[in-house]
Amino acid sequence: MITVDLHTHTIASGHGSTATIGQMARAASERGLRLLGISDHGPATPGAAFSSYFQNLAFAPREHFGVRLLYGVEANILDGGGLDLDNSVLARLDYVIASMHRPPRSVIYHGRDDIEAYRDRNTKDYIEAMSNPLVRIIGHPDNSQFPYCVHRLTDAAAECKVILEVNEASLGPDGYHRVAGLDTEQNYRILIKLCKKKGIPLLISSDSHGPDRIGQADRALFLLREQDFPRDLLVNEHPELLSVPRQPWRSSRPAQTGPDTGALPLS
């Protein structure tokens, strides 16, 4: 179990949940969470709430059933790297997770074609999304439907001070983002190793759609313990990492494609 869970979904996400914010908070309280983040899908997700919902979260309660509440969004990274909510709306939220989903993205990898063209396109779009200084977290970067270059992504995350997520829902046997022949666990092992080397914070999330899986993250925790990932870089242990000032990506900098060098020292 984790006591800080920032990637969860209510009925406002339009699929997989009929739960209200209050019901989510009650479940979090019963499981001993101290901080719950509500991060419903952005409006490009079919059936999700309109931008007015996210604007009105400014008036939602900050504590419920003894649990502190934060309000964010899981914004969709569109083709080209833009997001599906205006910055004027994103700026009103406590944090922004940016993730790839289909829909709304138009191209998905099924494990049959040459993977390199997919990697290049998706990596560029991730980096473009991270250039938005309101983006705090990249959601489920394990997603084999959207392969990317892990070296370029982690270089950009280190440059921008963006947090990367280890998503429990992806790791389950019914994982949302699996592609036959590609290994979600191994994707994460490589990502965690590079984040440890480069000093990039990680966030463990349940990605619970509704209350059933709030706080559950055994598989994700196992992978971080396996690689002895430092606790001072874990957002679940140090939520104040959400407030570290962002630095926009310098798009003119050549992207690194070879072996990683120049890792940040870890305390």
Pairing of β 137-138 and β 163-167: parallel
| pLDDT for residue 39 | 98
Q: What angle do CA 31, 24, 238 make, to 5 degrees?
A: 60
Q: How far is CA 119 from CA 83, 115, 116, 122, 125, in A?
A: 19, 6, 5, 5, 10
Q: What average pLDDT score do residues 15-20 get?
A: 89
pLDDT in tens, 112-124: 888 999 999 999 9
The per-residue pLDDT of the chain, averaged, comes to 91
Q: Is the pLDDT of residue 262 over 90?
A: no
pLDDT in tens, 207-254: 999 999 999 999 999 999 999 999 999 999 999 999 999 987 764 333
| Structure-block tokens of residue 52 | 């007015």
| pLDDT for residue 112 | 84
What percentage of residues in the chain have a pLDDT greater than 90?
83
| pLDDT for residue 182 | 77
pLDDT in tens, 82-129: 999 999 999 999 999 999 999 999 999 988 888 999 999 999 999 999
Model confidence at 256, pLDDT cuts 50, 70, 90, reads: very low
| pLDDT for residue 250 | 64
Model confidence at 176, pLDDT cuts 50, 70, 90, reads: low
Q: What average pLDDT score do residues 162-166 get?
A: 98
For 242, residues 6+ apart whose C-beta sits below 8 A from its C-beta are 94, 95, 136, 163, 235
| pLDDT for residue 143 | 84
| pLDDT for residue 124 | 98
Q: Is the pLDDT of residue 259 over 50?
A: no
| pLDDT for residue 263 | 26
Q: What average pLDDT score do residues 8-33 get?
A: 96
Question: For the whole model, what pTM was predicted?
Answer: 0.92
Quick one: which of 40, 34, 53, 33 has its CA closest to 10? 40
Q: Is the pLDDT of residue 266 over 70?
A: no
Q: What average pLDDT score do residues 131-151 get?
A: 95
